[in-house]
Structure formats: C-alpha cells, structure tokens
C-alpha cells in the first residue's frame, strides 16, 4: 500500500511538485499513531497499481458521485461532507502528517466508510486518476506562497489545471477558495488562460457566498479573525 510508483502507461507520473511546506508540526498523539498503523493502510490508495476504470470500485457501498479534495488540512470540510452525504465517495489528499492524523481520528469516530486517502503530494494522484472519473474537485485555502520567487510552488498552474480538467467529467465543477486576493486573481487568470474552465459567477455575491452545506475550515476562521475576506470560485469543466 505504501509504494507510490505509477505503472499506468496511459498517465506517466510527473515528479512531485512540492506544493506544500512542512510535513509535521508536532508529535502525534498515541491514538493517532495507532490509526496511522491500522486505519490508514486500509484507506490509502495504492498508486503502484492502475486505478480502476470505475472509481466506485474503491468503496464498499453504492456510490453516486466521486469528489476529490486536494489539501484538506484538518479535514473539517471533508468529514462534514462525508457525514452529510454517505452515498458520495470522497478522495482526500493531504501530505501534512498532523492533518492526516486529525482526519483519521474523525473517520474513526464517525465510522465513515466513504473516504479514501492519499498522504503524499497530489500530482501523482492526479496523474493516476482516470480521465472523466471525478464529479467535483475541491481546493480550499491552498498555501499561497506569497513571495514572488515561490509562486512556481502554487498548486494552481497550467499542468495541474490540465490534469484537473482531464479527470473531471464534462460539465463538472472545480471549487477553489482562498482569502489571499493575489492568489484568487492568479487562479482566475490561469483558469481563463487554460481554456478548459468557465467561471460561473454572474455577480459579486457568487464569489462572496460559500457553497451550499458549507463547512468552514480552521484556515478560514483564522482568515476571518484577521479581517481577510474569502472568495469562493466555481469553475465548470467545458
């Protein structure tokens, strides 16, 4: 389960993008260490084998849609969605070890069976997923890499957007949220320039209002405390 080699000749694996910073902030709790040893291997995607053509095979129950959340942080949004919509299948990606520890605890507490996990960089996962296999991609409060010399590490770039568009079903949506105005404008420009996405906003309230059944994240709460205004962007795969 731990191998990360991609043997799918149709989607050769790119080098990891290092779009994240540190891997761990503080030692895990003893209970979290146990979940890493016992629960994560059961939920972790095995990228050493080709992905199933139908991703619903990843889940043990009937699944009506597949949602990918990239960089789920502490997992608050992902877990809430999974609890509210048990018939949906969720794939969560997060390389930050403490964030993975938090979501494993929440999955265990709520006895969730509709979440699969990837605990490394997202680029190999995007390359591994089949074409037109995902119903929604969610990217919430990614690291903004504010210094210009670090902009190349922003997750929103031409290559990643191309892969996101590839794995999304036509007409499906890419959701992006950030409290950093420059990154919001960056994302709007890159999605426009890609020619693959159609921004769905009709007026300002469309990007100022969260999506239905929104579960705020700890990053968003911090932004609001510091008087930064979040933007919620919805792009449709053309």
Q: What is the DSSP letter of 124?
A: H
Find the helix or strand (DSSP H, E) in which 128 lies: helix 122-128
Please indicate, yes or no, if residue 65 is contained in any of the structural domains: yes
pLDDT at 117: 98
- Position 25 in a domain: no
Q: Sheet containing 197-199: which strands, arranged edge to edge?
A: 115-118, 88-93, 65-70, 134-140, 168-178, 231-237, 197-199
For the residues of 48-105, what is the DSSP string, one character each? TSPPPSSGGGGSSS--SEEEEEE--TTSHHHHHHHHH-TTEEEEEE---HHHHHHHHH
Q: Is residue 94 part of a domain?
A: yes
Structural domain count, the chain = 1
| Low-confidence winner among 12-21, 93-102, 219-228 (lowest mean pLDDT) | 12-21
In a domain, 144, yes or no: yes
C-alpha atoms less than 13 angstroms from C-alpha of 111 in its C-beta half-sphere = 0
57: buried, middle or exposed (CB in 10 Å: 19+, 13-18, 0-12)? Answer: exposed
User: How confident is the model over 103-123, as a mean pLDDT?
Assistant: 97
pLDDT in tens, 33-60: 999 999 999 999 999 999 999 999 999 9
More confident residue, 218 or 100: 100
Is 14 within a domain?
Answer: no
The Cα 92–Cα 122 span in angstroms is 10
> Per residue in 182-198, pLDDT tens?
999 999 999 999 999 99
Residue 5 placed within a domain = no
Q: Which pLDDT does position 25 carry in this prediction?
A: 59
Q: Would residue 113 count as lying in a domain?
A: yes
pLDDT at 221: 93
Would you please indicate which residues are annotated as catalytic (active-site) residues?
143
Element of type H or E holding 238: none
Q: Which residues, listed in sequence order, are joined to residue 140 by a DSSP beta bridge?
A: 177
Within-domain flag for 20 = no
pLDDT band (50, 70, 90) for residue 96: very high
Domain harbouring 67, CATH code: 3.40.50.150
Structural domain that includes position 147: 30-237
Q: What is the pTM of this model?
A: 0.89
């Amino acid at each position: 389960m731990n191998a990360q080699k991609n043997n799918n000749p149709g989607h050769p694996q790119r080098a990891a993008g290092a779009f994240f910073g540190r891997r761990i902030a503080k030692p895990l709790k003893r209970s979290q260490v146990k979940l890493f040893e016992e629960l994560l291997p059961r939920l972790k995607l095995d990228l050493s084998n080709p992905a199933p053509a139908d991703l619903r095979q990843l889940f043990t129950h009937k699944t009506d849609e597949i949602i990918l959340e990239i960089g789920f942080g502490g997992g608050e949004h992902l877990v809430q969605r999974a609890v509210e919509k048990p018939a949906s299948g969720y794939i969560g990606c997060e390389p930050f070890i403490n964030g993975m520890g938090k979501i494993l605890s929440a999955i265990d507490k709520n006895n969730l069976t509709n979440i699969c996990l990837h605990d490394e960089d997202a680029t190999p996962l995007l390359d591994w997923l089949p074409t037109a296999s995902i119903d929604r991609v969610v990217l919430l409060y990614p690291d903004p890499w504010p210094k210009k010399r670090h902009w190349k590490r922003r997750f929103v770039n031409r290559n990643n957007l191309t892969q996101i568009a590839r794995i999304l079903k036509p007409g499906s949506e890419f959701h992006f949220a950030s409290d950093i105005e420059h990154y919001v404008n960056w994302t709007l420009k890159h999605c426009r320039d890609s020619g693959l996405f159609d921004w769905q906003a009709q007026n300002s309230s469309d990007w100022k209002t969260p999506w239905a059944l929104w579960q705020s994240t700890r990053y968003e709460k911090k932004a609001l405390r510091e008087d930064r205004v979040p933007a919620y962007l919805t792009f449709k795969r053309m």
